[in-house]
């Protein structure tokens, strides 16, 4: 072919030196066209091969290979191999272009190899995320670390091609600059170590609900990568937290609650101290009509009467002997109400307790667990419980504590 072109140009009257140059340029153009044709063919062939394999296999991995354009990337290599093999030798009569084409083609080969590895790693990452055992693992962090090493090696190869020096020379230079490199990649290294610690200690998984006040983050973890942890807050905003902060700073992970049999309700009602009193007989007769505590009142009433008679207590003054109190009966009523509630988990702690009095009143705290852990449903259950208890308080002649901003009312209350 080369001899045919050389003879052809000489027959046209072109001198031998010029004919050799034209022959080399023409043959180079033919190689380019051939490489282009091979790329167009291999691109289609490789895609058809991968599509056929994908249809015949149950695994989704080949689907992710196609999705990340692995067949298209592979189709560049046959054409690139032809160019590297034939183009530089054809340009021997042009030393500058020969060296330039050789360097550019080798650099292109290195870059294409990096892109192939990158797309292959992305395919592996996407596939692993579909597996149950890896779904909540920070796969992005590990892929990013591998890609850093791939890019590092790729850049060393490119610099070696451009300078004509061995890779070991660059590695020796980088060894002397290790302190600077560590400073530049400080966050990356911290994030890598943190992601390993998070995985080993099972501190955070993708899908966990976490709260981190220092970053105003309160929502679900949607991504853990080398540098950041992305949290989708409940208002649909995204908060990015440095990965190493999950190791160095404090945060709340609600996974334990999500995996438990119930979500805790822990809230208190403040009772005005001045409204707390012993229950007189007349008031007790009214409270005995409350079905949930009727049997309790009847039983306690008999016990108290027997004990007071045995001790000969002077009941002309209610302070003497034993007596029922309105706050005690309200506490028993609240407990009975919660025990009857269909959305409260009876297998977990269920109690209504009185806390230490404060300047704002006596706290009666409800401590139970709702069966439904979904936030919206949980809030509804808790609201329904306290709606009922707050409405029940006046029946026991109790009052809730609240600040009053009306000065006239305060004066009237004193009088």
- The residue ranges of every structural domain in the chain are 2-135, 199-259, 263-414
**Is residue 1 over pLDDT 60?**
no
CB 101 within 8 A of CB 184: no
Among 86-90, 308-312, 342-346, the least confident range = 86-90
SS3 label, residue 185: coil
Question: Using 50, 70 and 90 to split pLDDT, how confident is the model at 411?
Answer: very low
Q: Is 199-259 a CATH 3.40.50.12160 domain?
A: no
Question: Using 50, 70 and 90 to split pLDDT, how confident is the model at 415?
Answer: very low
**Is residue 391 over pLDDT 60?**
yes
**Is residue 292 over pLDDT 80?**
yes
User: Between 3.40.50.300, 3.30.70.100, 3.40.80.10, 3.30.70.1890, what CATH number should domain 263-414 receive?
Assistant: 3.30.70.100
What is residue 61's predicted lDDT score, i.e. its pLDDT?
A: 86
Cα separation, 172 vs 159, whole angstroms? 14
Handedness of CA 172, 178, 180, 181 (dihedral sign): positive
Top pLDDT among 145 and 81 is at 81
**Is residue 178 over pLDDT 80?**
no
What is residue 339's predicted lDDT score, i.e. its pLDDT?
A: 94
CB 240 within 8 A of CB 223: no
SS3 label, residue 130: coil
Q: How much of the chain exceeds pLDDT 90, in percent?
A: 29
**Is residue 20 over pLDDT 60?**
no
**Is residue 93 over pLDDT 70?**
no
What is residue 355's predicted lDDT score, i.e. its pLDDT?
A: 94
What is residue 412's predicted lDDT score, i.e. its pLDDT?
A: 44
Question: Using 50, 70 and 90 to split pLDDT, how confident is the model at 186?
Answer: confident
Residues shown for the chain: 415
Q: How much of the chain exceeds pLDDT 70, in percent?
A: 83
CB 110 within 8 A of CB 157: yes
Q: Which 3-state string (H, E, C) describes the chain?
A: CHHHHHHHHHHCCCCHHHHHHHHHHHHHHHHHHHHHHHHHHHHHHHHHHHHHHHHHCCCCHHHHHHHCCHHHHHCHHHHHHHHHHHHHHHCCCCHHHHHHHHHHHHHHHHHHHHHHHHHHHHHHHHHHCCCCCCCCCCHHHHHHHHHHHHHHHHHHHHHHHHHCCCHHHHHHHHHHCHHHHHHHCHHHHHHHHHHHHHHHHCCCCCCCEEEEHHHCEEEEEEEECCCEEEEEECCCCEEEEECCHHHHCCCEECHHHHHCCCEEEEEEEEECHHHCCECCHHHHHHHCCCHHHHHHHHHHHHHHHHHHHHHCCCCCCCCCCCCCEHHHHHHHHHHHHHHHCCCECCCCCCEEEECCCECCEEEEEEEEEECCCCHHHHHHHHHHHHHHHHHHHHHHCCCECCCCCCHHHHHHHHC
**Is residue 350 over pLDDT 50?**
yes
Strand order across the 238-242 sheet: 238-242, 228-233, 217-224, 209-212, 252-253
Average pLDDT over residues 356-383: 93
**Is residue 398 over pLDDT 70?**
yes
Question: Using 50, 70 and 90 to split pLDDT, how confident is the model at 140?
Answer: confident
What is residue 403's predicted lDDT score, i.e. its pLDDT?
A: 72
What is residue 267's predicted lDDT score, i.e. its pLDDT?
A: 94
Top pLDDT among 75 and 183 is at 75
CB 382 within 8 A of CB 370: yes
Cα separation, 384 vs 168, whole angstroms? 72
Average pLDDT over residues 8-33: 63
**Is residue 156 over pLDDT 50?**
yes
């Amino acid at each position: 072919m080369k001899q045919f072109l050389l003879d052809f140009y000489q027959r046209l009257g072109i001198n031998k030196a010029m004919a050799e140059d034209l022959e080399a340029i023409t043959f180079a153009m033919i190689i380019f066209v051939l490489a282009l044709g091979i790329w167009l063919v291999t691109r289609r062939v490789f895609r058809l091969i991968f599509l056929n394999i994908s249809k015949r296999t149950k695994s989704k991995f080949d689907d992710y290979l196609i999705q990340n354009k692995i067949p298209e990337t592979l189709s560049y290599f046959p054409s690139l191999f032809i160019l590297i093999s034939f183009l530089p030798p054809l340009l021997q009569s042009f030393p500058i272009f020969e060296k330039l084409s050789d360097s550019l083609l080798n650099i292109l080969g290195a870059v294409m190899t990096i892109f192939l590895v990158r797309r292959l790693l992305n395919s592996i990452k996407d596939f692993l995320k579909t597996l149950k055992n890896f779904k909540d693992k920070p796969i992005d962090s590990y892929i990013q670390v591998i890609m850093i090493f791939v890019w590092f090696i790729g850049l060393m190869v490119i610099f070696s091609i451009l300078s004509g020096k061995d890779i070991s020379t660059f590695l020796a230079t980088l060894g002397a600059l290790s302190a600077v490199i560590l400073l530049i990649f400080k966050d990356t290294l911290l994030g890598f170590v943190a992601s390993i610690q998070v995985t080993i200690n099972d501190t955070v998984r993708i899908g966990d609900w976490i709260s981190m006040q220092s970053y105003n983050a309160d929502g679900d973890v949607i991504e853990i990568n080398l540098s950041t942890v992305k949290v989708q807050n409940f208002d649909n905003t995204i908060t990015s937290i440095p990965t190493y902060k999950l190791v160095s700073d404090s945060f709340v992970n609600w996974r334990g609650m999500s995996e438990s049999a119930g979500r805790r309700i822990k809230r208190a009602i403040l009772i005005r101290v001045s409204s707390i009193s012993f229950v007189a007989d007349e008031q007790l007769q009214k409270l005995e009509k409350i079905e949930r505590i009727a049997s309790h009142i009847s039983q306690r009433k008999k016990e108290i009467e027997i004990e007071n008679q045995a001790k000969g207590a002077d009941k002309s003054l209610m302070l003497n002997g034993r007596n029922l109190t309105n706050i005690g009966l309200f506490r028993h009523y609240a407990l009975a109400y919660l025990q009857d509630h269909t959305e409260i988990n009876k297998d977990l702690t269920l109690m209504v307790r009185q806390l230490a009095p404060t300047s704002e009143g006596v706290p009666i705290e409800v401590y139970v667990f709702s069966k439904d852990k979904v936030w919206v449903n949980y809030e509804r259950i808790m609201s329904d419980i306290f709606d009922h208890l707050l409405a029940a308080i006046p029946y026991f002649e109790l009052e809730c504590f609240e600040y009053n901003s009306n000065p006239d009312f305060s004066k009237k209350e004193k009088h």
